[in-house]
Amino acid sequence: MVIGVSTLRISLPVFVAEQRGLFAKHGIDAEVRRFETAQPLADELGAGRIDGGGYVAFPILFGPGAPPPKVRILTAVVEDATHPLSYLLVKKGSGLRGVAALRGRRIGILPTAAYRRWLEAILRHDGLKPEDVSIVPLAPSLEVDALAGGGADALFTGDPMATAALARGFAELATDTPDVPRVLGDPFLFGTFAVTDDFARKHPEQTRGLAAALDEAITMLSADPAVGTAAMKPYVRESERAFVDLYPAARYLRSGEISAAQLDRALELAGTDARAATVALQ
């Protein structure tokens, strides 16, 4: 089975499952392919060139602009007030505070449809229009230096970039609470691990084994978040590796813990008609 993983903190269960041998334990002969972000991973999933992958934000899988792939949903990652995943950062000492202060500013974002959609929602909620700022997609490897060097006035991004920027003293938070759940609802179903419907129908036992491996990884993470940071550390860029241990605990839902109502709401926020979406809970 070919599994894609986005090299972001949201993907901790995949790193744990690979590092701890959980895929093999549950009967999965996994080839894990790394992607810098979830956007190209979703493209490969939709084209059927990989069998499953995650973690992927819901707007990337199901947002406007590309027909959603037929997928089965395994597990989910949740953002809430005490489990931040996205950070709105400004340069330390800039004096910028709050979303309204970003009018006319250049905001670098993680180059995915999700971060653009979420940032636009945050801007509108706090009294700005998207055209009141300049939104610039930045490759993850360039984000911290762009903020530090003045190439961007703010960043809207996640880990490993966000914690590295904060720990290196280049950035500070623009707001007091995580903005995505503040604006779109707390708790917020951020993303998921998805398997193509074609693979799930042809290989039901392997699909169940994959769900069991991810569920076991989530159980391990819930008991000890350090398991996740230790598993992820080898995958991050060297400049970010020293800060992995500073990541806050993440919150995940096991495969059987996602309700149909939660999934419908996530699809609605992604811009998809839940009744027409070709998606199912595994």
Predicted local confidence at residue 65, as pLDDT: 59
Based on the structure, what is the number of domains in the chain? 2
For residues 209 and 245, give the distance between their C-alpha atoms in angstroms, rounded to a whole number: 30
Nearest to 16 by CA among 162, 191, 258, 235: 235
**Residue pLDDT, tens place only, 197-229:** 899 999 999 999 999 999 999 999 999 999 999
The enclosing domain of 131 has a CATH number of 3.40.190.10
Please say which residue of 184, 204, 235 terminates a domain. 184
Do 91 and 180 lie in one domain? The reply is: yes
**Domain hosting residue 268, numbered range:** 2-79+187-281
Please say which residue of 156, 184, 212 terminates a domain. 184
- Asked if 250 and 228 count as a contact pair (C-beta separation under 8 A), the reply is yes
280: pLDDT strictly greater than 70: no
**Residue pLDDT, tens place only, 65-79:** 555 568 888 999 999
276: pLDDT strictly greater than 50: no
**Residue pLDDT, tens place only, 45-60:** 888 899 999 999 999 8
Do 194 and 74 lie in one domain? The reply is: yes
Do 268 and 208 lie in one domain? The reply is: yes
Predicted local confidence at residue 263, as pLDDT: 86
Predicted local confidence at residue 192, as pLDDT: 94
Residue whose structure tokens are 């949740």: 78
180: pLDDT strictly greater than 80: yes
Helix (H) or strand (E) holding 228: helix 226-232
**This prediction's pTM:** 0.91
Do 241 and 225 lie in one domain? The reply is: yes
Q: Which amino acid is at 25?
A: K
273: pLDDT strictly greater than 60: no
Neighbours of 158 (CB within 10 A): 25
Do 206 and 157 lie in one domain? The reply is: no
Q: What value does the mean pLDDT take over residues 145-152?
A: 93
Q: What value does the mean pLDDT take over residues 120-135?
A: 96
Please say which residue of 149, 166, 184 terminates a domain. 184
